[in-house]
């Protein structure tokens, strides 16, 4: 959803003519911008009060560096940035599509064919994120955009390099309650590795397949408790998928296989979860090249 520019909004940022507002949060605004060459971009601009904080500016600089390290076709690429500007900004390629969160809310659960391809493409993206030495740490439906040729991961604002000093605060929870791992829920800083992204991917896929978060809704404390102590609510996923699969014999077991994948990703122990590399060729006897994904997605 886009909105009109406000009178207080700048006309240009970093060589981008601003056309509309794509979204706004407590720390900044995301604009639809266009370069002199006519290329559209999503331009994230940080509010001045945060730009004046050295720690925040350092975190934003790390966000830019993290986003630039990921080269997957299923992650939105950085097209420009200036973390040292008076108003720090980051531009990424514009993806003309809704978020997975918006799509599921409007149209309900995804069909099994889409679920299979969504899992493969997002796992391929996480494979590149992890290969770059990063952990996304905020894998959730709102951070996946659905384009015509496939999904795209966005927002590396809290990504962390795996070789950085781990967060040691006992009360700092990193991520979005309901879509984070048990180790994130308990702020186990030293344990926040790639396996946490896999758990979050399981939450995301469960949401896409059922239309509801696997650990329910409610307060942050309630969601964190359920994530650590309760089993995910996956009721109905197999039945819903199998009902559709009956139309095509080759997909008779797809719902069961999806449920198996979800249970593996949502294991409480990080050591019991598959890697992104292991998920990527799911449901294929030989892994297909990533470039074949767009035709499958459509």
Annotation marks residue 252 as catalytic: no
Catalytic site residue from 82, 138, 149, 269: 138
Q: Is 271 exposed, middle or buried (0-12, 13-18, 19+ CB in 10 A)?
A: exposed
- Kindly write down the DSSP assignment for every residue of 62-80, as one continuous string: HHHHHHHH---TTBPPEEE
Token pair for 167 = 């967060």
d(CA 55, CA 64): 14
d(CA 213, CA 147): 22
Are the beta carbons of 180 and 87 closer than 8 angstroms? Answer: no
CA distances from 127 to 87, 121, 279 (A): 33, 10, 9
CB atoms within 10 A of CB 274: 18
Name the residue among 181, 179, 228, 244 with its Cα closest to residue 207: 179
Token pair for 204 = 């995301």
Token pair for 47 = 């509010």
Please list the active-site residues.
138
């Amino acid at each position: 959803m886009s909105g009109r520019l406000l009178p207080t909004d700048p006309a240009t940022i970093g060589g981008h003519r601003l056309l509309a507002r794509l979204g706004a949060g407590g720390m900044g605004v995301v604009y639809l911008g266009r370069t002199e060459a006519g290329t559209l971009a999503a331009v994230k601009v940080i509010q001045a009060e945060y730009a004046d904080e050295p720690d925040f500016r350092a975190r934003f600089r790390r966000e830019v560096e993290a986003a630039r390290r990921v080269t997957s076709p299923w992650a939105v690429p950085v097209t420009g940035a200036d973390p040292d500007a008076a108003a720090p900004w980051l531009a990424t390629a514009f993806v003309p599509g809704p978020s997975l969160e918006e799509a599921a809310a409007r149209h309900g659960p995804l069909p099994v064919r889409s679920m299979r391809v969504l899992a493969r493409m997002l796992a391929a993206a996480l494979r590149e994120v992890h290969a770059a030495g990063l952990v996304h740490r905020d894998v959730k439906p709102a951070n996946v955009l659905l384009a015509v040729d496939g999904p795209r991961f966005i927002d590396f604002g809290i990504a962390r390099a795996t070789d950085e000093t781990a967060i040691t605060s006992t009360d700092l929870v990193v991520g979005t309650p309901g879509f984070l791992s048990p180790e994130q829920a308990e702020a186990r800083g030293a344990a926040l590795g790639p396996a946490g992204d896999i758990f979050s991917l399981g939450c995301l896929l469960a949401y896409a397949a059922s239309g509801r978060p696997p650990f329910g809704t409610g307060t942050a404390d309630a969601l964190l408790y359920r994530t650590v102590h309760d089993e995910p609510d996956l009721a109905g996923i197999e039945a819903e998928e199998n009902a559709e699969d009956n139309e095509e014999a080759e997909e008779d077991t797809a719902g069961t296989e999806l449920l198996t994948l979800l249970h593996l990703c949502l294991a409480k122990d990080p050591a019991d979860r598959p890697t992104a590399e292991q998920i990527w060729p799911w449901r294929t006897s030989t892994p297909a090249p990533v470039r074949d994904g767009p035709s499958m997605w459509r």
